[in-house]
Amino acid sequence: MLPALKVAITAVLVVAIAELAKRSTFLAAVLASLPLTSLLAMIWLYADTGDVHKVADLAGGIFWLVLPSLVLFIALPLMLRAGWPFGASLLASGALTVASYFAMIALLRRLGIAF
């Protein structure tokens, strides 16, 4: 599949979620919480390679790395509701999320889980 088409489909999805959030944050959250990006990545990978083992590895890696990504969705609203400015909240919760990714990767390596 053409890379430009992949980018266009993915961009339309992101813009659609942002536009929907202007009308209903709940519906936008439902759409954004679906693993659409992951599904698209798996579809693009399979379409390009036909390798189901790579798709399985990608799905397994996504599973483990979803866990530290949840830090963002816990920290950001807590900071915003505590009165932190948006930019500082986004930066701090992003930094916490990155630290959580490094911690998870280190933990997975210690447990012998490779992806």
Ramachandran category for residue 34: left, alpha or beta (phi over 0 → left; psi -120 to 50 → alpha): beta
What pLDDT sits at residue 69? 93
What pLDDT sits at residue 49? 96
What pLDDT sits at residue 99? 98
For the chain, residues with pLDDT lower than 70 are: 1
* Nearest-angstrom CA–CA distance, 115 and 109: 10
* Nearest-angstrom CA–CA distance, 115 and 56: 10
Domain ranges for the chain, please list them: 50-115
Specify the pTM: 0.73
What pLDDT sits at residue 100? 97
